[in-house]
Homo-oligomer: A and B are copies of this chain.
Amino acid sequence: MSSVEARNRRRRATVKDVALEAGVSRGTVSRVLNGQPYVSEDARTAIDAAIAKVGFIPNRAARSLVLQRSQAIGLIVHEPHSLFVEDPNIGSILMGANAALSEADYQMSTLIADTPRDVDRLARYLSGGLIDGVIIVSARVGDPITEAVARLDLPATFVGRPRDIGSAASVAIDNRDSARRITNRLLATGRRRVGMIAAALDRDSGADRLAGFVDAVGGRFDAELVERVPLYSYSDGQRGMRTLLARCPDVDGIFASSDAVAAGAMDVLQSEGRRIPDDVGIVGFDDSSWAMRCDPPLSTVHQPATELGRAAAESVLRQLRGVSDESEGRQLECPIVWRGSA
């Protein structure tokens, strides 16, 4: 039966049906629908009853068409499979953005760009008037999505700040400064041979974290002590640590590009018999669920992921209201969380 019903779904009631039923005009129905003043009590009650009786539900496509807005904001996540599933921050960014949009009565629609085909379809979708603005998470430099959004000149705010977004609004963290601060903190514990496992150098975040590390070690910099790995992942952390340890057995401090990397590194260090933090101090980046699961718990940089999402949402909303958006290039604070690993 379900399939038959699905075929010929009964025609939905429209404002016209409601008007007929209530014995008023469509205009009046529209007025009560939009909570406008100047509607008699009688008309209002008649219409409310009619709405309930015919089971009227407004059609948003029609509404968007005439109003030229949809009361929906897209949140675009441009990530290949794996990262989306693994990145602990994305979920928090989503929740933060959703909370802010929800308060403003906007529907958030998360759109995933996984394959090139997705990117194309997405570009078409965005142009459709079904979405009033977008939040873009993890765009890369030269991203086709960025271009599409610019072309459509759709109100947009980036989470993170790729170099090529011009004067577009963004909210981000200062990866370089945060990396510098936590490295300094690690150095302050008296370590002499501090290395780094530097992941994701093809992204701004990865490159900036390395730059911050270099800033901090300053004159003591030794290229031997930096091991580069492709991803912010546990297994790359293991791999990187093994290589680094083989090359520099005297290393006594590690700054890992992310908590997952740190966790991998820590497991390798411990299985090689190094005590943490006694023999080697280690710090990470993200303050994700990995951090608390480490033993000892990881000292790390806290990323305010929920706040990033919320701030990005507020920024798009501001653009929608036509307020000049002060948050262009806004940066959020990243407190250092000092635990037992260094």
Query: Is A177 in the interface zone, CB < 8 Å from B?
Result: no
Pick the residue among B2, B61, B124 that contacts A70 (CB under 8 A). Answer: B61
Q: Please tell me the number of chain A residues within 8 Å of chain B, measured between CB atoms.
A: 67
Q: Which residue of B lies closest to A57 (CB)?
A: B127
Interface membership of A85, Cβ < 8 A: yes
In the assembled complex, how far is the CB of residue A6 from the closest CB belonging to chain B, in whole angstroms?
Answer: 5
With both beta carbons as reference points, the residue of chain B lying nearest to A295 in the complex is identified as: B267
A98 partner, pick from B105, B114, B152, B289, beta carbons under 8 A: B114
Q: Contacts A3-B323, A130-B70; is A112 near B95 (CB within 8 Å)?
A: yes
**Chain B residue at minimum C-beta to C-beta distance from A318:** B3
- Contact mask A254-277 → B, CB, 8 Å, 1/0? 000000000100010000000000
A92→B82 CA distance, assembly (Å): 9
For residue A1, give the distance in angstroms from its CB to the closest CB of chain B.
7
Contact A108/B98 with A58-B128, A65-B61, A167-B2 known, Cβ cut-off 8 Å = no
Query: Which of A46-54, A115-123, A185-193 forms part of the interface with chain B?
Result: A115-123
How many angstroms from the CA of A107 to the CA of B289 in the assembled complex? 31
Which A residues between 80 and 114 are near B, CB-CB below 8 angstroms? 81, 84-86, 88, 91-92, 94-95, 98-99, 102, 105, 107-112, 114
For residue A57, which residues in chain B have a CB less than 8 angstroms away from its CB? Answer: 124, 127-128, 152
| Contact between chains at B107 and A110 (CB < 8 Å) | no
Hey, which chain B residues are within 8 Å of A86, CB to CB? Answer: 91, 289
- Chain B residues, CB < 8 A from A110: 109-112
Q: Is A297 an interface residue (CB 8 A)?
A: no
Complex contact B91–A114 (CB within 8 A): no
Which residues of chain A in 303-333 are interfacial with respect to chain B, using CB atoms and an 8 Å cutoff? 319, 322-325, 328
14 cross-chain CB contacts under 8 A = A3-B324, A6-B319, A58-B124, A59-B128, A60-B124, A72-B130, A86-B289, A95-B114, A99-B114, A99-B115, A102-B117, A102-B118, A107-B122, A263-B293
Q: Which A residues form the contact surface with B (CB < 8 A)? A: 1-3, 5-7, 9, 57-65, 70, 72, 81, 84-86, 88, 91-92, 94-95, 98-99, 102, 105, 107-112, 114-115, 117-118, 121-122, 124-125, 127-130, 152-153, 155, 167-169, 234, 263, 267, 289, 293, 295, 319, 322-325, 328
* Ranked 10 nearest A-B pairs via Cβ: A60-B128, A85-B91, A110-B110, A3-B324, A61-B64, A57-B127, A109-B109, A61-B129, A61-B65, A107-B125
